[in-house]
Amino acid sequence: MNQPLHDFYRLLRAAAAARKNAHAPYSKFRVGAALLAGNGKIYTGTNIENASYGLTLCAERVAVGKAVSDGQRNFIAIAIAAPSATPFPCGACCQVLAEFGDCIVVCADARRPRQLCVQRLAELLPRAFRLAC
């Protein structure tokens, strides 16, 4: 993990800012994500809940969708800001991220933003699904 620590804090600030735009009327669990692409651009996302819970979008997948729709496929790191000590990406988000390689995952509890958890995606999802074509 050769990224400078200040890059991780910059990503977390962007994720925390995105968190303010969450649409979470049911759970009140607001999450923000910030994805650093290989071109240096940061793509943010926020969770978007739906009354039909299965249609809810996670912040991480929203950020990935924005980056991919902008032509990006190389991701360096993603930061997740959540309101409690559970800011890790869910399995579905890990699988979506794994489609594009093994990025760095940076998490922090909104109540303790200086305490970072930094891991490789492959540590969170060591056996990502791969389609053998």
Could you list the pLDDT tens digit for every one of the 133 residues in the chain?
566 667 888 999 999 999 999 999 999 999 999 999 999 999 999 999 999 999 999 999 999 999 999 999 999 999 999 887 666 899 999 999 999 999 999 987 666 666 788 899 999 999 999 887 6
With respect to residue 12, please indicate whether it lies within any of the assigned structural domains. Answer: yes
Active site residue 60: yes
Number of domains present in the structure of the chain: 1
CATH number at residue 101: 3.40.140.10
What is the structure's pLDDT at 23?
98
Given a contact cutoff of 8 angstroms between Cβ atoms, the answer to whether 90 and 54 are in contact is no
**CA–CA separation, 130 vs 133, rounded Å?**
9
With respect to residue 129, please indicate whether it lies within any of the assigned structural domains. Answer: no
What is the structure's pLDDT at 131?
87
Catalytic residue among 49, 60, 99, 123: 60
Nearest to 62 by CA among 74, 76, 77, 47: 47
| DSSP per-residue letters across 32-55 | EEEEEETTS-EEEEE-B--SSGGG
**CA–CA separation, 125 vs 8, rounded Å?**
20
With respect to residue 25, please indicate whether it lies within any of the assigned structural domains. Answer: yes
With respect to residue 119, please indicate whether it lies within any of the assigned structural domains. Answer: yes
pTM, whole model, 2 decimals? 0.91
DSSP 53: G
